[in-house]
Structure 1
Amino acid sequence: MHCYFHLVHTHERIVDEAGIEVSDLEAAHYQALKAIQELRQEGEADEVDWRGWHLEVVDEAGNVLLSIPLNVAQH
């Protein structure tokens, strides 16, 4: 299944236009946690206020499969 990983806040949306192919929902969840970890490791990510932000995993039809709050998600 093809999944996209969007960063979503109340009035902002950073869209993943490429997405990746995963075998199932468990693999999508793993990739989402990995992406969050990478975000936190980039540059000055510690100074970013993640409150209110979510990483949404959506399928090709735009259905939200997972929504992980960035301020509490840990790997």
Structure 2
Amino acid sequence: MAISVLVVLMVLVPFAGRMLPGAEVANRILPGRPALQLIEQMPDVMPDTAAFAVLGAWAVAPLLVAVLAGERVS
């Protein structure tokens, strides 16, 4: 289940987020912009600590969903 959630979060949510109204606001919390900002390929849209926090949340979210669903994550 964690892999399924990861695929949905990393592929479908960013794609859908770009298609909806207000995509500029949504793109700030999707993993692409903070990652590009940290490797200095994009101008700063948030402080570096916030960019690290956003990327960390994207890494932890699928694991948290799997734990809450009762699956054993190893």
**TM-score of Structure 1 vs Structure 2, range by shorter chain:** 0.3 to 0.5
TM-score, normalised on structure 2? Answer: 0.35
More helix by share: 2
More strand by share: 1
TM-score, normalised on structure 1? Answer: 0.34
